[in-house]
Every structure is written in C-alpha cells, then in structure tokens.
Amino acid sequence: MATRGLPMADAHNDLLLGVIHQRERGHADPFGDFWLPQLRAGGVVLQVLPVYTEEQFINEGALRRALLVLETARWIAERHAADVAICETGPAIQRTIDAGKIALVLAFEGLEPVGSSLEVLDTFFRLGVRIASLTWNRRTMFADGIGERATGGGLTALGIEAIAEMEHLGMVVDVSHLADAGFDHLLGIATRPFIASHSSCRELNAHPRNLDDGRIRALAERGGFLAVNAFGGFLAEGDATIADLVEHVAHAVDVAGASHVGLGLDFVADVFTQTHPILGAALFDIGDVPLARGIQRPADLAALGPLLVDRLGERDARAVASGTEISVLKGLLPSA
C-alpha cells in the first residue's frame, strides 16, 4: 500500500532572510514561531538555507551581511537543537534525519560576499557553506545571471578559478540563476556533479529562469539534480497551481529520471511579507506576485506528497520528494 505522506527535502527556502529581518525588528524567535511549525507540518527532513545578498548590501556591505545571516543560521540551530542541525558532511545529513531532526545545509545564492578574493570562499567553507551559485540574476565578478543574458557572457576568468576552488573544497556548484552561456561554459570545465537548486522546465513555460531539456539532461548526465521551483511565474504564464508544479516535476522525470529530480520550492510569499511589512505595501502588492495556488509555504508540502504518488508512482514520488536530494548531497558533501 502506498504511503501518502512523504518525507520532503527542499533545496531552496530564503527563510533566513525573513528571520534576520524580523529579529532586527525585535521578534524574539521568528523561526520557532513560524518556520519550524511550517517545516514540520510539511514533513521536511532536509532544508537548504541560502544566503542571499540584498541590493542595499552589494559591494562593501555584502561580506558583513553574509556573516550576520550565517550567524542567524547558527543561532537557529543552537536555539532549536532538538529539532534541527546544520550539516556540513554527508554522514551528518543521515545522522540528523535518523534522529528525527531537520538537516539544514547552508548555501550561497550569488557570491557577492566573496568579492574578488577566493580566499574568502575558503573562509565561508570553514563556516559551513556547502552549496553556492556564482550569481543571482545580476552580474558578479564570476559570471552573468539571467538578468544579463543578452550579453552572451559565460564565466569570467575569476569564475573559472572559483569553480576549481569549489570543487577542491567540496562545495557544490549551483547553476540556478546562471545565464545559459554560463551553464554551457560550466559544462566544459566542471569535473564534479553540479545542481540546479530551484529551476523549473522551460519546455512547459518559456521563462529564462527555467532550464531547457538539453541542459536538464546534461545536468543529470553529470550526476547532479534539478530541484523544481514552485514559484507561479516560472510554472505557467497565467494562474499557476500545485498541479502545474506536479507537471513540471513529471516532465523533468521524463527527461532526466527521478534519481536526478527533486524540489527547490523557493517559497517567497511569507519572506516578502516578513522583510517588507511596511514598505512592501508601497513597493508591491503581494496579491500581484504570481504565486502558485495550493503550494505557497512548507506546510503545503503535505498536500503535494499524494499528488506526486498519483502522478509518478510510489518509488519515483519518494525519490523526487526527498530521496534524490538526500542521496546526491550525501555523496557530494565531504565525508568528514
């Protein structure tokens, strides 16, 4: 008999951004009050936590802000040691999950905090960062993001050096947000598997943040995985729903196989609300953000499991829900 509730792994949730903003405004424990119950309700057993550099901290502020966000992650792990643990090795992931806790893996969404000094990349590895993308949508000293895709630029010379150093350290390269030319450039130089932590399928919706079938296939052939994004604007041009997410997952499985497909949900609604409770009303209406109905926060993952089982069958659904990400990350992170 199929088990309807599935353990879930999510390769991208910007909750650290929401937590640090709320703590700066005096909220004592925003993770324990909101995010931890959400993660538990959704059955999350592994959560990747990216460090994202906001526009106001680019350049000289990026390094300091990144350190503060990483310290926020450590604060969470210490305050909620009974429920979560930061995992820096493959075996630590399995031990944490076996203990009934949520395995947290630290990541970078863009290397702005590194600047031009690769030695700082080594420092962040010592601080526990295990996954990193070279860029967000913007241009960095390492590569162009999809927001600069018209340049046709691949990786810079520093970007090539960064890839080599990341592979040497055991830091996993993430291609989400990287422009197509950068992805193709990486294919020619990478010697270890890499991942797309939160990208969907361009074949189903021609958004530049999505990957086409050829690149999904290439990523899988290198031993990595595509973690499908639940943001509505990436899933469909119109009113997206949880059913659209399932279709993107099913398409990716058809292209790459379930052992190379996972989830990178990119839940932004609550993060937007938490980071801009006052200015947000002036800058944008959350109702105008193209979210996917039925899958907007971690607790909604409880409803996703049965849909994955119905669409993919028990074995493939379990792989997509958490098996693939756990297996691949256990293999790519250092063993000790």
Number of domain units in the chain: 1
Percent of the chain with pLDDT over 70: 92
Please say if the pLDDT value at position 197 is more than 80: yes
Encoded amino acid at 300, one letter: D
Q: Are 127 and 73 in contact (CB under 8 A)?
A: no
DSSP-derived secondary structure for 174-212: E-TTB-HHHHHHHHHH--S--BBSS--BTTTS--TTSBP
283 pLDDT above the threshold of 70: no
The radius of gyration of the chain from alpha carbons, rounded to an integer in Å, stands at 18
CATH number, domain with residue 114: 3.20.20.140
Checking if the pLDDT of 95 tops 50, the result is yes
Euclidean distance between CA atoms 265 and 306, whole angstroms: 17
**Residue 333 domain-assigned (yes or no):** no
Measured distance CA(113)–CA(53) in Å, rounded: 8
109 phi and psi, to 5 degrees?
A: -105, 85
Q: Is 3 inside a domain boundary?
A: no
**Can you tell me the distance from the alpha carbon of 191 to that of 163, in angstroms, rounded to the nearest whole number?**
9
Q: Cβ distance 259 to 312 under 8 Å? A: no
Residues 171-177, mean pLDDT to the nearest whole number: 96
Whether pTM exceeds 0.85? yes
First to last CA, the chain: 38
Q: Is 2 part of any domain?
A: no
Reported as a pLDDT band with limits 50, 70 and 90, residue 274 is confident
- Burial class of residue 26 (count of CB atoms within 10 Å of its CB; 0-12, 13-18, 19+): exposed
Specify if 330 maps to a domain.
Answer: no
| Local structure of 332: helix, strand or coil | helix
State the virtual CA torsion across 72, 73, 78, 79 in degrees, nearest 10: 60
pLDDT over 90 percentage in the chain: 81
Q: Identify the band that residue 289 occupies on the pLDDT scale cut at 50, 70 and 90.
A: confident
Whether the predicted pLDDT of 330 surpasses 50: yes
pLDDT at 175 over 50: yes
Q: Which residues of 71-82 are buried (b: 16+ CB within 10 A; e: fewer)?
A: ebbeebbeebee
Q: Would the pLDDT of 1 be above 50?
A: no
Q: For residue 147, name the pLDDT band (cuts at 50, 70, 90).
A: low
Domain extent at residue 193: 8-325
> Cβ(281)–Cβ(245) under 8 Å?
no
CB neighbours of 122 closer than 8 A, spacing ≥ 6?
165, 169
Phi-psi region of 50 (alpha: psi -120 to 50; beta: other; left: phi over 0): beta
Instruction: Confirm whether 76 is domain-assigned.
Output: yes
- How high is the pLDDT of residue 277? 61
pLDDT at 204 over 60: yes
Pairwise CA distance, residues 260 & 216, whole Å = 9
Q: Specify the pLDDT at position 3.
A: 43
Helix, strand or coil, per DSSP, at residue 47: strand
**Residue 26 counted as domain residue:** yes
Q: What is the pLDDT of residues 255-273, one digit of tens each?
A: 999 999 999 999 988 988 8
Q: Where are the alpha helices (DSSP H) in 257-323?
A: 269-275, 279-283, 301-312, 314-318
Asked if the structure places residue 288 within a domain, the reply is: yes
What average pLDDT does range 202-212 have in this prediction?
97
The region of weakest confidence among 51-55, 212-216, 268-272, 282-286 is: 282-286
Q: Is residue 128 part of a domain?
A: yes
